[in-house]
Chains A and B, each alone.
Chain A
Amino acid sequence: MSEKEAVVKDRRNPMKVARGLGSSQSGVGHWWTQRVTAAALVLLGIWFVVTVLCLLHADYVTARATVARPWNALLLVAFVITMFWHAVLGLQVVVEDYVHVRWKEVVLMVAIKFLAVLGTLAGVLAVLRIALTP
């Protein structure tokens, strides 16, 4: 196939194709991050459920000691961050699909992101406080 035929098939500027960002300027970033966080949450979610079940009748001291264990603290921080990240990406799709008034869409998305960042920071700080307090 000659270069001329290729140009007819694809009218986009070669630079645009090379950047691969498409008409929305963000490429497949959202889609791919949603999948990667989903894959992480399959593992972290199962681990979290098992951990919570192990703490079913645990008293305060046992629960704190369990969360303070290095691996548990690390995985909990990873779980909290990934969970909120995935939640924001998912809620964004729902908001974009059902909220058709631009200012409402923007306000809702910013509110969701504020809440998610606060939730993430609060969760991480709580785990750190438990893990680092002797």
Chain B
Amino acid sequence: MADTQRPLSPHLQIYRKQVQMMSSITHRATGIALAVGSLLVVCGLLQLAAGEGSYNAFKHVIGSPIGIILMLGWSWSLFYHLCNGIRHLLQDAGWGYEIPQFVRSSWLSVAGSIVLTVLVWAYVLMAGGAT
């Protein structure tokens, strides 16, 4: 039970599904995922500092099937949060506040994140795979 009994905004089920709502929720979800992923960045730096054995072990884990799935999720989360983050910065500056613009920029964030993720993984594949 909540400590304060303030009125709540209507629950999510009441709203019709819209892309702006989805892009906002996804921004938060990818933000949380990236916060967890930041520990992975530090882990990689620590392994590199610890020596050759630890670095190779880290590379082995990242190159394993589970590691690649994690990296796929991490890269898409990063690119989505990046694209949608830039969209929010532009909105903070006062741009794109008409509803059609909101809808269009939501889809732009989604499309941009997918394009960037595909580009990065196409490069990884061309450079000889992730392992």
User: Residues of A at under 8 Å CB distance from B?
Assistant: 35, 38-39, 41-42, 45-46, 48-49, 53, 56-57, 60, 63-64, 67, 76, 80, 83-84, 87, 90-91, 94, 100-102, 115, 119, 122-123, 125-127, 129-130
Contacts and interface: CB of A to CB of B under 8 A. Distances in A.
B92 A35 contact: yes
B35 A91 contact: yes
Contacts of B85: 38, 41-42
Given A80-B42, A100-B2, A38 B48 contact: no
Contacts of A41: 85
16 contacts: A35-B92, A42-B89, A45-B78, A49-B78, A56-B124, A60-B52, A60-B56, A63-B48, A64-B48, A91-B35, A119-B39, A125-B49, A126-B42, A126-B46, A129-B49, A130-B45
A130 B46 CA distance: 9
Contacts of A60: 48, 52, 55-56
A126 B31 contact: no
A97 B41 CA distance: 27
Contacts, number: 88
Most chain B beta-carbon contacts within 10 A, residue among A53, A80, A123, A125: A123
B3 A83 contact: no
B120 interface: yes
Contacts of B75: 49
Contacts of A48: 41
Given A60-B52, A127-B45, A129-B49, 20 more contacts: A35-B92, A38-B89, A41-B85, A42-B82, A56-B127, A56-B130, A60-B48, A60-B56, A63-B55, A67-B45, A76-B45, A90-B31, A90-B35, A94-B31, A94-B32, A100-B3, A125-B49, A126-B42, A130-B45, A130-B49
B128 to A, nearest CB: 6
Contacts of A129: 49
The 9 lowest CB-CB distance pairs between A and B, nearest first, are A100-B2, A126-B45, A87-B35, A126-B49, A123-B42, A60-B52, A129-B49, A90-B31, A126-B46
B4 interface: yes
